[in-house]
């Protein structure tokens, strides 16, 4: 499998990282708004959701944790929290949270897979890192907000993250450039999640044998 060097991956990772942190931070702040929490909780939810998945990924692959030693990532989370607070987001409907979360999921699935690939991991672990990066922050957010975790719902979420990461890795194996593979992976993951949100598509549950 062609390994994308860290230097080659840096521009793609930087842009997707910032975008993923921003939209996930907004989704975290929206969860705090729905629970009518304080501005401190807004900031905490935004930060945990924005950087949680990437933190777990970096710890697992032995990379320096991406936000430690920098102020911009946490700054984005604080700006997102303040913006949602000022816009009176408690009046927003639930789909706003779902769509922001879908965008963040799609971006982070590619980010996780790309960074794992740049560290030389095999294809399947790269896909797993993409899924963890995309879903772990949202899982923490839902637990803190007292909402059912995405892992305990039949709706398509983790599957969409897996699709995005898989498309990215497959296109990378075929020699596609980072921008093409990354864009296609993010688009595929978002499209599947969008279908689930707009049409109510869900995975079948386990049926007991009659």
DSSP string, the chain: -PPPPHHHHHHHHHHHHHHHHHHHHHHHHHHHHHTT--HHHHHHHHHHHHHHHHHHHHHHHTPPPTTTT-SHHHHHHHHHHHHHHHTTGGGS-HHHHHHHHHHHHHHHHHHHHHHHHHTT--HHHHHHHHHHHHHHHHHHHHHHHTPPPGGGS-BSSHHHHHHHHHHHHHHHHTT--HHHHHHHHHHHHHHHHHHHHHH--BPPPP----
Q: What is the mean pLDDT of residues 72-97?
A: 83
pLDDT of residue 203: 81
Instruction: Extract the tokens encoding 131.
Output: 């899924």
- pLDDT tens readout for residues 145-198: 888 777 777 778 999 999 999 999 999 999 888 889 989 999 999 999 999 988
Instruction: Extract the tokens encoding 68.
Output: 């430690």
- Higher-pLDDT residue of 85 and 177 is 85
pLDDT of residue 93: 60
pLDDT of residue 8: 56
Question: Tell me, what DSSP letter sits at residue 63?
Answer: P
Confidence of residue 15 (pLDDT cuts 50, 70, 90): confident
Mean pLDDT, the chain, integer: 86
E strand residue ranges, 50-114: none
pLDDT of residue 149: 79
pLDDT of residue 122: 95
């Amino acid at each position: 499998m062609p390994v994308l060097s860290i230097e080659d991956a840096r521009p793609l990772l930087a842009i997707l990282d910032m975008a993923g942190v921003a939209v996930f931070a907004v989704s975290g702040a929206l969860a705090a708004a729905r629970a009518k929490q304080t501005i401190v909780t807004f900031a905490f939810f935004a930060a945990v959701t924005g950087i949680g998945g990437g933190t777990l990924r970096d710890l697992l692959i032995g990379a320096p944790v991406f936000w430690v030693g920098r102020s911009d990532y946490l700054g984005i989370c604080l700006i997102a929290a303040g913006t949602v607070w000022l816009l009176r987001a408690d009046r927003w409907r639930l789909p706003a949270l779902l769509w922001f979360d879908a965008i963040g999921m799609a971006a982070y699935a590619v980010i996780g897979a790309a960074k794992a690939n740049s560290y030389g991991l095999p294809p399947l672990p790269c896909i797993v890192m993409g899924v963890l990066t995309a879903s772990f922050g949202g899982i923490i957010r839902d637990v803190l907000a007292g909402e059912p975790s995405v892992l305990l719902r039949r709706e398509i979420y983790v599957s969409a993250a897996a699709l995005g990461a898989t498309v990215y890795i497959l296109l990378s194996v075929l020699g596609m450039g980072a921008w093409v593979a990354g864009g296609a992976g993010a688009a595929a993951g978002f499209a599947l999640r969008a279908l689930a949100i707009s049409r109510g598509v869900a995975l079948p549950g386990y049926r007991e044998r009659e």
